[in-house]
Amino acid sequence: LNRIEEVTKAIQLLASNKVPGDDGFSVHFYKTLIDTVIPDKLLKVYHKTKERGPFPKPLNFSIIALLPKPNNNLLECSSYRPIQLLNMNNKIFGKILAGRLDVTIINRQRTNWL
């Protein structure tokens, strides 16, 4: 990961309706500040992570929330669906890696038959 363009593109690709994680920073926050120092700062965090190992715990924290399914008995566990709320920096990093895997694993020149 060495390009600001990858970070900027990943931010642009985030769906605007995503709920923020524990840090409270929304997609709107990142998209509003996309032309500032945010991509550069994220790139530095990703480089440090690559050097040292996994994301620091505060950045890698997630929340599991249970959303009730409509018209179900709320006393039953099956009446809920779990969602995981990740911090946006993790989602951005994941988009960058997914984009790289997409290019590596699925060669676009060979997908005409798919």
pLDDT in single tens digits along all 114 residues of the chain: 568 899 999 999 999 988 888 889 999 999 998 888 888 888 888 888 888 877 777 777 889 999 999 999 999 999 999 999 999 988 998 898 888 887 666 665 555 555
**Cα–Cα distance list, 1 to 20, 45, 65, 66, 76 (Å):** 24, 11, 31, 34, 45
Does residue 26 lie within any of the structural domains? yes
Does residue 98 lie within any of the structural domains? yes
Q: What is the DSSP annotation of 16-42? A: TTPPP-TT---HHHHHHTTTTTHHHHH
Does residue 114 lie within any of the structural domains? no
- Tokens 């969602």 — which residue? 83
Does residue 69 lie within any of the structural domains? no
DSSP state of 70: T
Does residue 19 lie within any of the structural domains? yes
pLDDT score recorded for residue 51: 87
Does residue 70 lie within any of the structural domains? no
Does residue 67 lie within any of the structural domains? no
Does residue 72 lie within any of the structural domains? no
pLDDT score recorded for residue 27: 93
Asked if 92 contacts 26 with a C-beta cutoff of 8 angstroms, the reply is no
User: Residue 103: is it exposed, middle or buried by C-beta count within 10 angstroms (0-12/13-18/19+)?
Assistant: exposed
Q: Find the length of the chain.
A: 114
**Into how many domains does the chain fold?**
1
51: domain range?
A: 4-60+87-109
